[in-house]
Amino acid sequence: MRRGGYPSGFLQDKKDLTPSRAISSGRVGAGRARQVACVSFALGLAASATLGLSAMLVLAAGGMMGILYSMRLKRSALSWVPYAIAYPTVPLWVWVSLGKFTPGMLVIYPIAIPFTLAVHLANQLRDYDEDASQGMRGLVQYLGKQAAGRLCVGLLLLSPLSLLTTVQGYRDGTVVLLLSILVHWLLIACCLHRYPAQYDMRTWNAIFKRLQLSGPLMLIGWALSVLR
């Protein structure tokens, strides 16, 4: 699934004037970045095609969400929508690839919305000031930095509980899910303790990095807990 994000990264970097970005800083040429993005996406689709047409289509859908975010929605109040669709697509792709998909598993999309919204807010809050100076009007700009920060922390702490509402009975996967939620809470608590009452770029950078670990762990735990 990771290769599907490269076209999105290229498009986002091309439009973003932030000096730390590879293209805007001149470290990588736009032409070379475009080639790498296209080749990476094609390789991802080709690899996924070996698992079946359905798996390839699911991967393509996830990748297109990243492109849609970078090209159209990043600078709008709907900037969270691609996250809400793409993030739960990861376990969906796994189920489809393994031939274990059932329609009931689509419940992951509404269940994951609070968490994916939190991930999106953390991501945009990292660059709040730079984005605002460029005239960007994403969701965090509409909410304001303080309101978006409070909402993000609240969702990060409470949203994992929604995953437990669909778990029925005891399974080995339930233990994995519970442990992953505890790890998630611990990581977020450590970030908040390190930067108390300072919801600045350092805080959101630290939180967003931890979410790259805790988010997939919780999705894997949930997937294992609902598989029959």
Task: Say what the alpha-carbon torsion angle 155, 109, 143, 198 is, to the nearest 10 degrees.
Answer: 30
Query: Model's pTM, two decimal places?
Result: 0.77
Q: How far is CA 211 from the centre of its chain?
A: 8
Residue 7 lies in a domain: yes
- The tally of domains found in the chain comes to 1
- Whether 161 maps to a domain, the answer reads no
% the chain with pLDDT above 90: 23
Q: Please choose, from the candidates 66, 100, 106, the residue with its C-alpha nearest in 3D space to the C-alpha of residue 88.
A: 106
Whether 9 is in a domain gets the answer yes
Residue 213 lies in a domain: no
Mean pLDDT is lowest, of 43-47, 101-105, 202-206, for 43-47
Would you place residue 152 in the very low, low, confident or very high pLDDT band (cuts 50, 70, 90)?
A: very high
Answer yes or no: is 121 within a domain: no
Give residues with Cβ within 8 angstroms of 217, minimum separation 6: 180, 183, 184
Sign, CA dihedral 16-22-24-30, equals: negative
Is 133 part of any domain?
Answer: no
Residue 68 lies in a domain: yes
Whether residue 112 lies inside any domain: the answer is no
Residue span of the structural domain in which 44 resides: 1-73
Q: What is the mean pLDDT of residues 168-187?
A: 83
